[in-house]
Amino acid sequence: MAKYSKLQVIQTMKETGLVPVFYNADVEISKNVLKACYEGGIRVFEFTNRGDFAQEVFGELVKYANKELPGLILGIGSVVDPGTAAMYIQLGANFVVGPLFNPAVAPVCNRRLIPYCPGCATPSEIGAAQEAGCDICKVFPGDVLGPAFVKGIKAPMPWSQIMVTGGVKPTRDNLEAWFKAGVTCVGMGSNLFPKDLVAAGEWGKISDLCSNVLEIIKSLR
């Protein structure tokens, strides 16, 4: 069962502006990354459903976060069907993210007041997702669509709350382009978790990366 309300999740996404996106099959590595992000100021974290037994890792992360990382909101990503969404909600997911919009996922999340952030790549998909109750839509893939797409969407649909994922980098120029275009928040994956840092257990450097990105976002608003 979700620990945080739908309003808390959405508000925290808006306030921090950054949602780390991460997957690793190793529970201990995942815990260390989660803690590193937390110490860097992160309060919303997306673990992705990208490997066998990912649900087991996620379940352990929820227990760990609830006990050791107060205020950290943990959600699940890469969800494409309602059965998977229901399973992760039962494991404690506070929000559900997908690379695509599946209308069948929305009622599963709405029934439990869980935010559903589907991947959308057209105005019609965003409109359909909003009609289904999706407060924040994920524009994906961001590196293909670009900031101009977000700016274009916001012109006729200014109420849209958009999280962009894919191609977001921890640099001022990149982040400035997205936030000037009008995103609500950004999702950042591999650029926030360089493989060499994870392999070497350089958790402090990951904390620094998170902290730096949050500072940049704060200065852009």
* C-alpha count within 13 angstroms, C-beta hemisphere, residue 209: 22
Residue 132 lies in a domain: yes
Residue 142 lies in a domain: yes
| Spatial distance between the Cα atoms of 8 and 111, rounded to a whole number of angstroms | 17
Q: Is the pLDDT of residue 1 over 90?
A: no
The chain-wide mean pLDDT, for the chain, equals 97
Residue 123 lies in a domain: yes
Q: What SS3 class is residue 46?
A: strand
| Spatial distance between the Cα atoms of 78 and 32, rounded to a whole number of angstroms | 21
Residue percentage of the chain with pLDDT more than 90 = 99
Residue 214 lies in a domain: yes
| Spatial distance between the Cα atoms of 68 and 72, rounded to a whole number of angstroms | 9
* C-alpha count within 13 angstroms, C-beta hemisphere, residue 112: 24
Sign of CA dihedral 125, 101, 221, 7: positive
Residue 66 lies in a domain: yes
pLDDT digits (tens, 9 = 90+) for 87-135: 999 999 999 999 999 999 999 999 999 999 999 999 999 999 999 999 9
Residue 1 lies in a domain: no
Contact in structure between 41 and 214 (CB atoms under 8 Å): yes
Residue 4 sits at φ, ψ, to 5 deg, of -115, 145
Q: 199, 200, 142: which is closest to 21 by C-alpha?
A: 142
- Domain assignment of residue 113, given as a range: 6-220
Angle at 22 between CA 18 and CA 23, to 5 degrees: 165
Residue 183 lies in a domain: yes
Residue 159 lies in a domain: yes
pLDDT digits (tens, 9 = 90+) for 71-88: 999 999 999 999 999 999
Model pLDDT, residue 167 = 87
Contact in structure between 3 and 92 (CB atoms under 8 Å): yes
Q: What SS3 class is residue 173?
A: helix
Q: Is the pLDDT of residue 26 over 90?
A: yes
Model pLDDT, residue 207 = 98
Beta bridge partners of 161: 136
For the entire predicted model, the pTM comes to 0.97
Query: How many whole angstroms from its chain centre is CA 177?
Result: 19
H/E stretch holding 93 reads none
Model pLDDT, residue 152 = 98
Q: Is the pLDDT of residue 19 over 90?
A: yes
Q: Tally the domains of the chain.
A: 1
| Spatial distance between the Cα atoms of 84 and 55, rounded to a whole number of angstroms | 9
pLDDT digits (tens, 9 = 90+) for 158-201: 999 999 999 899 999 999 999 999 999 999 999 999 999 999 99
Neighbours of 172 (CB within 10 A): 15
Q: List the CATH number of the domain containing 43.
A: 3.20.20.70
Sign of CA dihedral 73, 16, 54, 86: positive
Query: How many whole angstroms from its chain centre is CA 3?
Result: 17
